Structure 1
Amino acid sequence: MDNDYIAILAPSEEHTGAKLTRLADTFHAMGMVVRYASGRLTLFGMKDLSTLPLPGGGILIGHLFTQDGIAIRNGARLQESSSPTQIQQHILKTYWGSYLIIQPDMQDPGAFTMTRAPSAAGNIPCVWSIKNGAGFLTSDVSLAVRALLYRKQINWDFIAHCLSYPAIKTQRTGFVELAELLPGCSLRTSGSKVSVRQAWSPWDFVAREHRYRDLHDAADHIRHAVESAVHARADVDRSILLELSGGLDSSIVAACLRNRREHIVCCNLVTPVPGVDERQYAGQMARQLGVELHTRHLDFDNACFDFAPPPNSVAPTMGPLQHVIDKAIEAAAEYYDADTYYTGGGGDSVFCYLRTAAPSADAWRAHRFGTAITAARDLAGVHQCTVWKAGRLALSKLRRAPRSPFHQDPTFLASSSVCAEPEAHPWFAAPPNALPGDRERIFDLAGNQLFESQAARGYRRPLRFPLLSQPVMEACLRAPSWMWITEGKNRAVARTAFSDLLPPDVLNRQSKATYMSYLGALYERNKLQVEDFLLSGRLRSQDLLDTHAIRSFFSMPLSSGDRTFLRMFELCMVENWIRHQP
């Protein structure tokens, strides 16, 4: 893809000669040329790779926008600063986008700092391997493999962690000596030393001094942020396939694409069993855009457990459901000649769709009695219960210890393989006085960083997640959790922000589609295949599975309401990824 890059770090400037010449020939054969060089660092990229020179001799790979969504195409617009850190912070606080910043340190020759944009998804990828001062950073590990700079080797400690804590994104990957630079983090290399730190934190935006006080003020800011994020991307995209489910989140993205000159194709998915058919809502939104709604069917025959992950995959994240969805949407993009995907993914997290009593508990802790009583009434409306029960749940929430971001699942794992110590995500570092609702929504946001790697279609065409862009996250985090349940409606601030742009049926719906019936039917149809897949695979050969428990589960009929079978899909996801590695 056009945003592919690889930055080579030589141990010293004296070692950049012959090896660099060989690498240049290798990358030239891949269509890549030298796009930047400074000291012992050389950046190779596609000819169409978007870059921006920075003050102080650095470079920005990717795209940078103002808060109003205007593309920055000239580094001269960035203010001159006295240090790389000041330049970095100026970009993080003033602009947004999908980018990687590379900065040499003028005070420490040979030292570099690399910073990845904070957007939780739709970001420029960055994995790295640096040892003894030499190595690489790249958008795609397969580039390093093809250049003989890296040899894939499974990191079994990571696999054990992934099995025990399947929903946690970490900087570790499924390969030995390969790490990911997470969104909003910076990597510094100086000599043989390498360190990673957090350069941007979501916790800054939930602080009391940054909270919105008024619902309509919050709605105005959030609408501006979402519209700017969508328009900024749409200005550079020729043809868009909008993944329009008919839910609130994707409909908001659709509303922001109204009156655009780009060719827009709206694609909706349906399954052969109940639970996902939302054409009545998606169709209204498509008609409002003045386009036809195209439907794709998720057949059982196209769902499989054994499939090749994309070449840039560095961890198991894509299960059978993601695979069949991916293939259906990719086929639609091919058929309608779309060059970019747009999705409302991440909307539940940014729009604070919490399913607990946390918003009311937050109001009790942060405000006066009147606000807390109103929040209890709103919570009762959301969950269709009495005010007394809502208040009791909120007080119970306040008395309990804060919710942990770690949810260990030892089901069907060998006791010796269960990983006891989870690896923390940088966004899990909550301040001591953090409110329960803020903890829950920021922990959820961290999990959204898995979304991009769950969609292989993003390997061939850009996949845009406007709702997970930096300005939208920042604007939404400033709205306190209790404001999001105003008048007993979930995601209330987003509904207020776009109330004049959404059809009433879409604006007022509280239900959400579910793939549970489809997944249950998929399991029943493939039960024997799944059992054989797990019991004859590499996870078993590594003694990571409790084979007795697995056989026992498959020998019993699946009882109504039992969702334990979903754990089998998680295990198959990991097994499949491992089978396609060296």
Structure 2
Amino acid sequence: MCYLYIALSGNSVGRPEASEWSLAGPLRDLGMECRGRVGGVVLFAPKETPTLHLPGGGILLGDLYDEGGRPVNDLVDLQHLSTQSTLRQHLLDHHWGEYLLFQPTEEEVNSTTLMRDPSGGIACVYSLQHGNGFITSDLAIASSLGLHRDRIDWDFVRHSLIYPHMKISRTGLAEISELLPGCVLSMGGKKTSTSMAWSPWRFVSPTGRQSDPITAARMIREVTTSVIHAMAKTDRTVLLELSGGLDSSIVGVCLSNANARVACCTVITPLPGADERSYASQIAERLGIELLQQPLDYADADIDFELPKHSPRPAVWALGRAVARAMDNAAESQGVNSLFSGGGGDTVFCYLRSAAPAADAFRARGLAAGYKAIVNLSRLHGCTVTKAARLALRKLSLNPRAPYKPDYLLLPRTDEISPLELHPWFSAPSNALHGDRERIFDLAGNQMFADATLRAGHRRVRMPLLSQPVMEACLRVPSWMWISGGQNRTVARAAFAARLPQDVLERRSKGTFMNYTFAVYRKNKEAIGRFLLDGHLRSRGLLDPHKLNLFLESPLPARDHSFMRIFDLCMIENWVRNHA
């Protein structure tokens, strides 16, 4: 069950009549109970949402575990920590979980800070004007209390068209922001501000970098297993969304001894490319359970579909909706509390497609290590050592890759537009290695997965590979170590070599829905054209109809994936229609 809550600050939206006292009746009708006051914030949540009271008057909402993966039910032993900031840092250093931490501040009466855990496991959006407003897991709660009404932020929509997969705190709804994972929201008087409490850059520093691949593999195995066991024990019944690829297979074998009832499901399409049953069935066999199979028809990939009310930004596209529907069916049939995914595994396990690992080895370890990494790079990509060396040297000589790439395809061409804001993780240290930059930038993008993973029934969607302990353990392993032996994700393979089926352990290819997605595009081009040309984006002058018609009428060369841009545009148009 997803954890729900709403926290009211000041006079809610600045109207004295909208105080927590006047809203007590409507809150009770929603099943919300008062869990306490922290500074100037009053917290309400259903009885199913766990809370812990902290020394000094703080409240932790959600699940907290110690370093061994044991659930924490009492924090009285932290009374020796002298300040709220010390307590917050202690939790980050010695605990993990999916939680929000509300704390009073020592500096000002009725001021409050709120930290979201680094994995972002609990949703957190807010609207605060001059210290008054709300923070909630679901804008539908605020709307039912009369505290929110959707108004589209068209500047953000334009931003999304150019940067469709960039996560920022600003949302597509006016006056609604999101507290990003690992960040702190400070509320004092009439001012609010945000800052970073947890940064991935700390874990790629030379002083904390792993140097021994055996130690690195053992650390990743132990941490990943501990996290997955802890989550599964909390949820009790889980459905594993199993592709048969390395990442979801690792989650699968870690569930084999978990204290939970486990089911697993894979999706199959009418076209080859995404059929992973030969691999997924071997993981199901290791778990001793049946592999559930959900077919995807072409009609399942809608472009015009209903979204959850008040979803904060465009994130769900046609394929995502089709997979969600399939997994919802399987979850409903199995009666599970949560769904587990291998989402984020490519990034966490450093699946880089550039020459950055070899360039990093040169910079950090010198000529011998650099040459060894070049040989591994050439084997990984099936090219000559000479070409791999040339690519590594070119990577060293160029300016580092920008964290974002604008996309103006099918838009009216205007002067180049900068992003509305940047993700805080984009602020890289001046001496950062190329590979560390690339994987941390990608890690910031992975935070979109929570928005894009549309699941019904308020079931939790767990992405354990994006949990704080797994991210930290993997970031400590340098990029060149992940391509040892000419394989991708080598350290993860070594970590679970004894537990994975040989076919899964050794596979280099990945299942892809590209054939299926292109077939959906080809079969629905006429409907897609009407959807976009008769839509809000066109009427606002945000699409170029001539370019769009020309694109839809033109045949695409083999392996040309530019049609995926059409699905981005449909995703944004569909979100606008749901909120207009």
TM-score normalised by structure 1 residue count: 0.97
Please, which of 197, 200, 211 is the counterpart of residue 199 of structure 1?
197
Cα distance change, pair 2–23 in 1 and its aligned pair in 2 (3 A)? farther
Deviations 1:333-372 (A, max 9, x none): 1112122100111000000000010000000111122111
Cα distance change, pair 18–445 in 1 and its aligned pair in 2 (3 A)? closer
Partner of 2:427: 429
Indicate conservation of the 8 Å contact 2:487/2:508, yes or no. yes
Q: Does 1:342 align with 2:340?
A: yes
Please, which of 176, 181, 184 is the counterpart of residue 186 of structure 1?
184
- Equivalent residue letter for 1:22: S
- Equivalent residue letter for 2:565: R
Please, which of 351, 354, 368 is the counterpart of residue 353 of structure 1?
351
Partner of 1:85: 85
Deviation larger for 35-44 or 491-500: 35-44
Partner of 1:3: 3
Matches of 2:111 and 2:224, distance apart in 1: 37
Cα distance change, pair 258–298 in 1 and its aligned pair in 2 (3 A)? same
Partner of 1:328: 326
Indicate conservation of the 8 Å contact 1:237/1:340, yes or no. yes
| 1:207-226 → structure 2 map (5 Å cutoff) | 207-226=205-224
- Equivalent residue letter for 1:37: R
Tell me, what secondary structure is at the counterpart of 1:229?
helix
Q: Compute the displacement of 1:99 (Å).
A: 0.6
| 1:18-29 → structure 2 map (5 Å cutoff) | 19-29=19-29
Deviations 1:438-485 (A, max 9, x none): 000000100000001111106620110000000000000000000000
- Equivalent residue letter for 2:185: L
Indicate conservation of the 8 Å contact 2:240/2:340, yes or no. yes
Q: Compute the displacement of 1:301 (Å).
A: 1.6
- Equivalent residue letter for 2:88: Q
Q: Does 1:117 align with 2:117?
A: yes
Please, which of 540, 547, 550 is the counterpart of residue 552 of structure 1?
550
Matches of 1:210 and 1:289, distance apart in 2: 35
Cα distance change, pair 402–113 in 1 and its aligned pair in 2 (3 A)? same
Q: Compute the displacement of 1:420 (Å).
A: 3.1
Deviations 1:138-192 (A, max 9, x none): 0011111111111110000111111101121000000011100000000101111
- Equivalent residue letter for 2:48: D
Query: Identical aligned pairs, as a percentage?
Result: 48
Partner of 2:372: 374
Partner of 1:280: 278
Deviation larger for 39-48 or 237-246: 39-48
Deviations 1:59-103 (A, max 9, x none): 001011111111111121435322111111111111111011111
Q: Does 1:465 align with 2:463?
A: yes
Deviation larger for 313-322 or 421-430: 421-430
Tell me, what secondary structure is at the counterpart of 1:175?
coil
Indicate conservation of the 8 Å contact 2:229/2:259, yes or no. no
Matches of 1:561 and 1:359, distance apart in 2: 27
Q: Compute the displacement of 1:422 (Å).
A: 4.9
Partner of 1:517: 515
- Equivalent residue letter for 2:153: N
Tell me, what secondary structure is at the counterpart of 1:98?
strand
Partner of 1:142: 140
Indicate conservation of the 8 Å contact 1:416/1:544, yes or no. no
Tell me, what secondary structure is at the counterpart of 1:87?
helix
- Equivalent residue letter for 2:27: F
- Equivalent residue letter for 2:479: S
| 1:560-579 → structure 2 map (5 Å cutoff) | 560-579=558-577
Q: Does 1:162 align with 2:160?
A: yes
Q: Compute the displacement of 1:560 (Å).
A: 2.5
Q: Compute the displacement of 1:311 (Å).
A: 2.5
Q: Compute the displacement of 1:39 (Å).
A: 4.7
- Equivalent residue letter for 2:252: A
Deviation larger for 363-372 or 486-495: 363-372
Deviations 1:363-419 (A, max 9, x none): 011112211111111111110111121111100100011000111000111224963
Matches of 2:310 and 2:287, distance apart in 1: 35
Deviations 1:211-269 (A, max 9, x none): 00100010111111101110111111221100111011011111111133422111011
Q: What residue ranges of structure 2 are gaps of 5+ in the alignment?
A: none
TM-score normalised by structure 2 residue count: 0.97
Indicate conservation of the 8 Å contact 2:235/2:337, yes or no. yes
Matches of 1:405 and 1:39, distance apart in 2: 37
- Equivalent residue letter for 1:199: A
Cα RMSD for the two superposed structures: 1.6
Matches of 2:289 and 2:299, distance apart in 1: 30
Counting matched residue pairs gives 579
- Equivalent residue letter for 1:575: E
Cα distance change, pair 321–200 in 1 and its aligned pair in 2 (3 A)? same
Tell me, what secondary structure is at the counterpart of 2:441?
helix
Matches of 1:100 and 1:261, distance apart in 2: 25
Matches of 1:536 and 1:185, distance apart in 2: 40
Partner of 2:105: 105
Q: What residue ranges of structure 1 are gaps of 5+ in the alignment?
A: none
Cα distance change, pair 402–38 in 1 and its aligned pair in 2 (3 A)? closer
Tell me, what secondary structure is at the counterpart of 1:432?
coil
